[in-house]
Structure 1
Amino acid sequence: MSGSTPTTTATNTEPTTQQIDFLIVGAGPVGLLAANLIIQAGFSVRILDVEYEPNHWGRGDWIHGRTLELLERAGLAEELLSTGVKVDQIASYMNGELQSSIPFVPDEVESKHQYLLCVGQHITETSLQSSLTNQDVEVERPATVINIIDGPDANYPVRTTVMHLRDEARTEQVDCKYLLGCDGAHSDIRQQLGIQTEGETTETHAGVIDALVRTNFNAGRKDVCMLQNDVAKTISLFPRENGLTRIFVHFDENELEMRKEQYNRNKIQLEDIQREAKRALLPNRLEFLGILYWSVYVVGQRLATQMDAMRQRVFLCGDAAHCQSPTLGQGVNTGFGDVFNLVWKLCMVERGVIKRDILSTYTAERKPVAQQVLAVDKVAAKAAAGHQSSKEYCSIVQEHRAFTTGFGIQYRNSNSNSETNKNPLLLGSNNSKNQALVQTGMRAPNFKVFHYATGRKTRLFEKVHGDWLAFNMLVLADDLVKSHAAVESLLQWKHPALSTQIVITTTPADKIESEGILADMKDRIMLDKLNRAQVHAAYHSNNNEEDVQAVIVRPDGYIGAIAGGSTPDELVGAVKKYFDGFTA
């Protein structure tokens, strides 16, 4: 593994070539996040963007709770949380009267981020860029990659030509281990690779305004609001940082079909969006005090036919791989999900910890998620543009909110019976015999527990410290007095991919103390005594008689395996089998 400083080589016949671990094209939120995670792992990175200046406004302004969990674990959430507006509910109104109101996050979700964070993309990008600057990495602007070929060096197998547009189109040759295309819906990297997109671009449009407004509409600053009346189009309002409001006007698709000359992307003007917003708020008043940004979106859903190329050396992330309407705020969250899924695998491969063929699981896991995002977005965008009642639109949001908030995303193993097609990162996934609430491939819930050492209420993953690019193990010990021999055997088992081990028990603290069990690891014992031992209840199926289970949590927070055994040797053997399936 090379450090954070790129190297340069030259021969008598070749121009000077820089060698770098990772080259990222695109410095939006997705590319900036990837660069931060790569730097944290100790690898060298360069990040390019074709724009002369950052173009922050009008894009990904919703950050869902699941995304916040991942950002927080990587130490990248603090500024966003202190700046953004936390939104608890989505509410629908008709003629100024409240029709329905539902929580953004389902009640059963166990997370401390049970809300939507509304924060401008410029803040997200500035925060991520500041973190990079502290590591002596700056975005190179305007610059892009104009050629991608196989390189002669097996250690740096991707050869690129980088063009710097400001310096009279100066070019340089850069060899890298991996190239990440994070360059948006019109990705030049995707086009150079000859990767096609599938899907549709509709005739439906949505106007958006970021503004300072004054209104007597009395909805709280904690709600996203869908509004309609008898004379106007559907609009949505949601709060932003610093007193800003974002307004979406969902232009009626039937009206657009009849009046294409008036309403198309080039014809819709700021005044049209303002007029429809004011009409939708009637009988309330709406006054625009200042416009910071406005634009018109064409609604559509498109998916790249491939998300990787050149033998898993080039990857597409975010809008470069899949793009949809802004209706449900999925763009930046799905892109961040791509990055968190991919980067830990790349870095652990380069550290020599896991096998290279594991990189194929990026597409296997993330493409189905992208397909589902597009399917849900298509339904929601059609409902908004089709002028269905705002209450019906909210019911669509409610139906899919576990998935759209990210908490309900599940990675599934291959449906094939062939062992060669199964995903080794998901041991025992989709086992129909397992009736447990939480299963392999799901996000590991961040349950509330009591910390044995302090006696204070906490959440499971608050005590996970160190390198986020590592696996963690939850040991469900049930009665620790009976199971401590098996637990101790499991804790003695070590693996380079495994970091923190946390023991969860139903045994009272005083009994643990009097028995002197695991006295040297008090800080990692959690007492499962809330809601009828909710952690054990979630992971144990009705027919599961094993006293101890080992839950292996991947670096991206998804459950890789739920292993058990009736003896210490069986328990350790089951965990070892999982890691043997993909580690080098």
Structure 2
Amino acid sequence: MTTEQTDVLVVGAGPVGLTAAIVLTQRGHAVTVLDSQTEGANTSRAAVVHSRTLELLEPYGVTPELVARGVHIPTFTVRDRDDLLMSIPFDTLPTPYPYTLMISQAETETLLLKRLHDLGGRVTRPASVSAVDQGPDGVTATLRDGQRIPARYLIGADGVRSTIREQIGSAFSGSTYAESFVLADVRLSGGVPVDEVILYFAPAGLMVLAPLPDDRYRIVATVDDAPEVPDAAFVQRLLDERGPRSRSAVVHDVQWGSRFRVHHRVAESFRAGRVLLAGDAAHVHSPAGGQGMNLGIEDAVTAAECLSGALLGHGRTALAGYDTQRRQAAERVVRLADRLTGLATLSARGRPLRNAALRVVGAVPAPRRRLALQLSGLDRR
């Protein structure tokens, strides 16, 4: 069965796909959104929304509720246990949102989906694409059940194992970090600041600790062999080995947790004809710096605005720069995340020199501000 043609078919209904659908729908285009997962099956990995992302979402009616529900964190710090190596302030950045916003990906997706519904859009689930065929005037996606959906354009926002990327033949070069990552949302007390996102360096590996709404904390850490579902005892050991020594932090319960492997890869091409890639379908990297979902949302807004221009008759000029622009942005972010991860996992012999260098750099306003602009995404305006 073949359905009626839509302007844009969006494959993937995570934050990236939902953002693209919101932009296009608000601009008056017909959009069909598909997702292979059942309702509520998405995990809550990302928890950071940066300043640039809030700026990009503001014209599309999403930012006010995000800002109201998230925790505003004015400072990002790098520590070696109790030793402060660098403090990076966000509260002086040139933006209406001079902070890191901490909010779970599940909450972000809920707000994005609500906005799409308010605009009249819907998501079809579960619906898996098995093949993509392009012609001079459009693209047709074939689903696993045999249904065919024609569209003028297609956005592949279907994650790291992207079928759309495979269908357009875009290589996904890079490698996989040796360590696995553990992620947990916990309730804890003692020893932990409530106004900082902290990147801890420790001999055992890196750990990110950040406040979330409702008095919870997000913990992300590298481990050699993470348990499938981390319990309170496991997370407590991470804090004891990598967190503050002087004031012990106590884990009371783990509300949600998982493990995952992280790649650092960038697609060879972000566009093939009438198909555009966005988010994890186009780039993946270490969670250090909290850039993944934010970069994907930037892709989504850019792709949707370019396609809106193409649909209005400005095709060549509107789409010409998407591939180069977004690939360059992804490569910069991957390099930044890799540098942070590399610094965090230095051998014991290299730690004193690293710590000394970070203290020196952290005492100079210019590099601190440059790093704040990079982390917040404002350098990609």
The two structures have a TM-score, normalised by structure 1, of 0.59
Q: Secondary structure, in 3 states, of the residue corresponding to 2:321?
A: helix
Q: Secondary structure, in 3 states, of the residue corresponding to 1:80?
A: helix
- Give the Cα separation in 2 of the matches to 1:35 and 1:234: 36
1:296 Cα deviation after fit: 2.7
Q: Does structure 2 retain, via aligned residues, the 8 Å contact 1:160–1:175?
A: yes
Q: Unpaired runs of 5+ in structure 2?
A: none
- Give the Cα separation in 1 of the matches to 2:5 and 2:146: 15
The 1:16–1:58 alpha-carbon spacing in structure 2 relative to 1, beyond 3 Å, is: closer
Task: Note if 1:53 corresponds to 2:53.
Answer: no
The aligned counterpart of 1:201 is 176
The 1:289–1:42 alpha-carbon spacing in structure 2 relative to 1, beyond 3 Å, is: same
Q: Does structure 1 retain, via aligned residues, the 8 Å contact 2:192–2:249?
A: no
The 1:386–1:55 alpha-carbon spacing in structure 2 relative to 1, beyond 3 Å, is: farther
The aligned counterpart of 2:218 is 246
- Give the Cα separation in 1 of the matches to 2:205 and 2:331: 29
The aligned counterpart of 1:161 is 142
The 1:204–1:175 alpha-carbon spacing in structure 2 relative to 1, beyond 3 Å, is: same
2:112 maps to which of 106, 128, 134:
128
1:94 Cα deviation after fit: 4.5
- Give the Cα separation in 2 of the matches to 1:403 and 1:91: 14
The 1:140–1:218 alpha-carbon spacing in structure 2 relative to 1, beyond 3 Å, is: closer
- Give the Cα separation in 2 of the matches to 1:70 and 1:233: 34
Report which structure shows greater RCO (CA 8 Å, sep ≥6).
Answer: 2
The aligned counterpart of 1:405 is 376
The 1:21–1:218 alpha-carbon spacing in structure 2 relative to 1, beyond 3 Å, is: closer
Q: Unpaired runs of 5+ in structure 1?
A: 1-14, 164-169, 252-262, 410-442, 444-584
Calculate the aligned-residue CA RMSD, in Å: 2.5
Q: Deviations over 1:507-553 (max 9, x none)?
A: xxxxxxxxxxxxxxxxxxxxxxxxxxxxxxxxxxxxxxxxxxxxxxx
Q: Does structure 1 retain, via aligned residues, the 8 Å contact 2:23–2:304?
A: yes
1:114 Cα deviation after fit: 1.3
Q: Secondary structure, in 3 states, of the residue corresponding to 2:44?
A: coil
Matches within 5 A, 1:53-132: 53-96=39-82, 98-104=84-90, 107=92, 109-132=93-116
The aligned counterpart of 1:372 is 332
Q: Secondary structure, in 3 states, of the residue corresponding to 2:240?
A: helix
Task: Note if 1:338 corresponds to 2:313.
Answer: no
The 1:71–1:179 alpha-carbon spacing in structure 2 relative to 1, beyond 3 Å, is: same
1:52 Cα deviation after fit: 1.7
1:78 Cα deviation after fit: 1.1
Matches within 5 A, 1:424-503: 443=381
The 1:400–1:299 alpha-carbon spacing in structure 2 relative to 1, beyond 3 Å, is: farther
The 1:370–1:287 alpha-carbon spacing in structure 2 relative to 1, beyond 3 Å, is: same
Task: Note if 1:359 corresponds to 2:319.
Answer: yes
Q: Does structure 2 retain, via aligned residues, the 8 Å contact 1:158–1:175?
A: yes
- Give the Cα separation in 1 of the matches to 2:43 and 2:315: 40
Q: Secondary structure, in 3 states, of the residue corresponding to 2:308?
A: helix
The aligned counterpart of 1:536 is none
Q: Residue 278 of structure 1 aligns to which amino acid in structure 2? A: D
1:97 Cα deviation after fit: 5.1
Q: Does structure 1 retain, via aligned residues, the 8 Å contact 2:2–2:150?
A: no
Matches within 5 A, 1:259-298: 263-265=224-226, 270=231, 271-280=233-242, 281-298=244-261
1:350 Cα deviation after fit: 1.2
The 1:92–1:306 alpha-carbon spacing in structure 2 relative to 1, beyond 3 Å, is: closer
Q: Residue 236 of structure 2 aligns to which amino acid in structure 1? A: Q
Q: Residue 58 of structure 2 aligns to which amino acid in structure 1? A: E
Task: Note if 1:222 corresponds to 2:185.
Answer: no
- Give the Cα separation in 2 of the matches to 1:325 and 1:99: 21
- Give the Cα separation in 2 of the matches to 1:78 and 1:111: 15
Q: Residue 127 of structure 1 aligns to which amino acid in structure 2? A: L
- Give the Cα separation in 2 of the matches to 1:228 and 1:148: 45
- Give the Cα separation in 2 of the matches to 1:173 and 1:123: 32
The aligned counterpart of 2:153 is 178
1:326 Cα deviation after fit: 0.9
Q: Secondary structure, in 3 states, of the residue corresponding to 2:154?
A: strand
Q: Secondary structure, in 3 states, of the residue corresponding to 2:218?
A: strand
Q: Does structure 2 retain, via aligned residues, the 8 Å contact 1:380–1:393?
A: no
Q: Residue 239 of structure 1 aligns to which amino acid in structure 2? A: P
- Give the Cα separation in 1 of the matches to 2:296 and 2:239: 30
- Give the Cα separation in 2 of the matches to 1:407 and 1:61: 18
The 1:16–1:358 alpha-carbon spacing in structure 2 relative to 1, beyond 3 Å, is: closer
The 1:359–1:87 alpha-carbon spacing in structure 2 relative to 1, beyond 3 Å, is: same
Q: Secondary structure, in 3 states, of the residue corresponding to 2:320?
A: helix
- Give the Cα separation in 1 of the matches to 2:322 and 2:371: 24
1:367 Cα deviation after fit: 0.8
- Give the Cα separation in 1 of the matches to 2:345 and 2:261: 11
The 1:267–1:123 alpha-carbon spacing in structure 2 relative to 1, beyond 3 Å, is: closer
- Give the Cα separation in 1 of the matches to 2:12 and 2:234: 32
1:104 Cα deviation after fit: 3.5
Task: Note if 1:24 corresponds to 2:5.
Answer: no
Q: Does structure 2 retain, via aligned residues, the 8 Å contact 1:22–1:178?
A: yes
The 1:383–1:97 alpha-carbon spacing in structure 2 relative to 1, beyond 3 Å, is: closer
Structure label with greater radius of gyration: 1
- Give the Cα separation in 2 of the matches to 1:232 and 1:331: 24
Percentage of matched positions with identical amino acids:
30
1:28 Cα deviation after fit: 0.5
Q: Residue 402 of structure 1 aligns to which amino acid in structure 2? A: L
Q: Does structure 2 retain, via aligned residues, the 8 Å contact 1:30–1:335?
A: yes
Q: Secondary structure, in 3 states, of the residue corresponding to 1:300?
A: strand
Moved over 6 A (4+): none
The 1:360–1:288 alpha-carbon spacing in structure 2 relative to 1, beyond 3 Å, is: same
1:146 maps to which of 114, 130, 134:
130
Q: Deviations over 1:149-188 (max 9, x none)?
A: 135xx65x2122123xxxxxx4311110011100111111
Q: Residue 142 of structure 2 aligns to which amino acid in structure 1? A: T
Q: Secondary structure, in 3 states, of the residue corresponding to 2:197?
A: strand
- Give the Cα separation in 2 of the matches to 1:203 and 1:119: 28
Q: Deviations over 1:399-447 (max 9, x none)?
A: 53322311112xxxxxxxxxxxxxxxxxxxxxxxxxxxxxxxxx3xxxx
- The structure where helix makes up a greater share of residues is 2
1:112 Cα deviation after fit: 1.6
